[in-house]
Amino acid sequence: MLLALISLPCKYVLYMCHVSECTLLMEFFILQVYKGHGWSLAEDHIHYTVGRQCLNRQQIEAACQALAALLKPESMQTAAQQTAYLNEFIHVHQVL
């Protein structure tokens, strides 16, 4: 069944998945689809979304790991976006 989902547009899959727990699982699945295909901005967006969802679910360590994945020297994000990601990581790390 999971292979059938790959052919669907990712936004449609997320739209069909209304429960936050299901959404989090889908984000992890989508990250595996995008990973290593040169879609670094999409990967960053997914890492950020997973980090925020984990934080909202009080899964602080998982949030910290997801947000740490955004802090990389080869990032394609603007300096302002990198600063926002760093601030978010620091906030979550302080909660930890």
- Number of separate domains in the chain: 1
Q: Which domain holds residue 43?
A: 18-95
Query: Model confidence over 1-54: pLDDT tens digits?
Result: 444 445 555 555 555 554 556 777 777 777 777 788 788 888 898 889 889 988
Q: What is the model's pLDDT at position 11?
A: 56
Q: Which amino acid is at 46?
A: I
Residue 2 belongs to some domain of the structure: no
Quick check: is 37 in a domain?
yes
Q: Say what the pTM is.
A: 0.70
Between vectors from CA 88 to CA 83 and to CA 94, what angle results, nearest 5°?
Answer: 125
Domain contains 45: yes
User: Is 47 among the domain residues?
Assistant: yes
**Mean of the pLDDT values across residues 66-94?**
91
| Cα-based angle 59, 63, 64 (whole degrees, multiple of 5) | 120
pLDDT for position 70: 92
Tell whether 89 is covered by a domain.
yes
Q: Would residue 54 count as lying in a domain?
A: yes
Domain-embedded: residue 57: yes
